[in-house]
Amino acid sequence: MRVIPPEDIRKQRTIRYSDKEYDNITQKAKALNLKTATFIRARTLADDIEEVKRYALTPIEERKDIALILSALGASRMASNLNQIAYAINTGTLVLSPDVIKQITDACETLKWMRGALTQALGLRKQ
């Protein structure tokens, strides 16, 4: 079970806008493919619009990249495989054959690719 620190718990707040103001906000959010609440939170907490984009993480191209990475991670059974390797190491039964070394090396390369792709998709590194 995930425990959320009290300072990170989000609470509903009320802000009053005229219809014209709210329409303006929703149009700007829609232009960035953001939910209105996400746009307002990002915009008020960020120093510039690029930071808003990074904070929200929702442009469609980024969603596709992140979905691709997450699906690759899920299909890889990497968590299960790493658990089996850790168990074998802890019990002293891991035999480092050329095949095992290749599999570990391949897993490391896959993780490096995922890290790079996520970093790029999140806007933390240019292409």
Nearest CA to 122 out of 70, 47, 79 is that of 70
Q: What is the pTM of this model?
A: 0.41
- pLDDT tens column, 97-122: 888 888 888 888 888 887 787 777 66
pLDDT of 1: 64
- pLDDT tens column, 77-98: 777 877 888 888 889 888 888 8
CB contact set of 55 (below 8 Å; sequence gap of 6+): 41, 42, 45, 46
Q: Which helix (H) or strand (E) holds 61?
A: helix 60-76
